[in-house]
């Protein structure tokens, strides 16, 4: 008897479902970063607004990368609905705390998919995921560095202005050749 499931798709139903969940999470992050960019702009933090616009674009790129992989492997990619976007923040610092929380949640989620791939011996998807795992190293580093600026520079006097000015200079260079 033919294995029709395998003939149709390289990835199993379980992995496909996990990847679709990740598409949804990336879409949520994309929308949440856009909301944060809006808050920063409205409160006069122009540099940070630009930083979060770029972050939003990156999340959208990640979402599409996952979406196309599911389709390319013969799966059913599901365009997600996005709900529960936070619009208001109590402080400039809270914005960056939220950003770091989001990145940690995304890393944890990728780790779960990687664990499922190992369990199923789906090394093809695992190889695809490696790019995202590496990307998360950079994303978490940048989010953590941004939050650390609040301690290093301080929030008194022109501190917030200085932090906003410094945000665009954060980059992850440790792995550059």
Partner 1 sequence: MNCVALEEIFSNSSGVVYQCDNESCFYLEFEGKRAKYSVKNLMQLKFKLDNFKIEEIFCVDSLNPSGTEIVTISTTDYCYILNPLQIIRFRELLDQTFFNLHVNQVIKDRLHYAILA
Which parts of this chain interact with partner 1 (CB under 8 A)?
Answer: 1-8, 13, 76
Residue 120 C-beta: closest distance to partner 1, Å = 11
Q: Which is nearer to partner 1, 14 or 148 (CB)?
A: 14
Taking the least distance from each CB to partner 1, the nearer of 21 and 166 is: 21
Return d(Cα 69, Cα 66) in angstroms, integer: 5
Least CB distance from residue 7 to partner 1, whole Å? 7
Which helix (H) or strand (E) covers residue 69, if one does?
helix 46-72
Alpha carbons 177 and 161: distance in angstroms, whole number: 33
Q: How far is the CB of 8 from partner 1 (least distance, A)?
A: 4
Residue 76 vs 86, nearer CB to partner 1 = 76
CB of 9 to partner 1, least distance (A): 8
**Rounded Cα distance, 164 and 93, in Å:** 11
First to last CA, the chain: 51
**Pair 124, 53: CB distance under 8 Å:** no
CA–CA gap between residue 39 and residue 88 (Å, rounded): 7
**Dihedral of alpha carbons 120, 132, 128, 59, sign:** positive
Query: 7 or 157: whose CB is closer to partner 1?
Result: 7
The distance of closest approach from Cβ of residue 71 to partner 1 in the complex, given in angstroms and rounded to an integer, is: 12
Nearer to partner 1, 54 or 68 (CB): 68
């Amino acid at each position: 008897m033919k294995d029709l499931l395998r003939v149709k798709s390289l990835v199993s139903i379980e992995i496909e479902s996990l990847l679709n969940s990740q598409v949804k999470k990336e879409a949520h992050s994309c929308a949440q970063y856009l909301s944060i960019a809006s808050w920063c702009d409205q409160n006069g933090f122009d540099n940070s607004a630009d930083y979060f616009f770029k972050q939003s674009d990156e999340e959208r790129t990640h979402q599409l990368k996952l979406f196309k992989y599911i389709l390319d492997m013969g799966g059913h990619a599901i365009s997600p609905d996005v709900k529960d976007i936070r619009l208001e923040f109590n402080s400039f610092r809270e914005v960056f705390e939220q950003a770091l929380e989001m990145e940690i949640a995304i890393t944890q989620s990728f780790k779960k998919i990687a664990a499922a791939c190992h369990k199923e011996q789906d090394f093809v998807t695992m190889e695809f995921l490696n790019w995202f795992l590496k990307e998360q190293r950079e994303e978490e580093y940048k989010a953590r560095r941004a939050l650390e600026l609040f301690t290093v520079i301080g929030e008194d006097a022109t501190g917030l202005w200085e932090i906003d000015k410094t945000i665009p200079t954060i980059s992850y260079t440790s792995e550059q050749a």
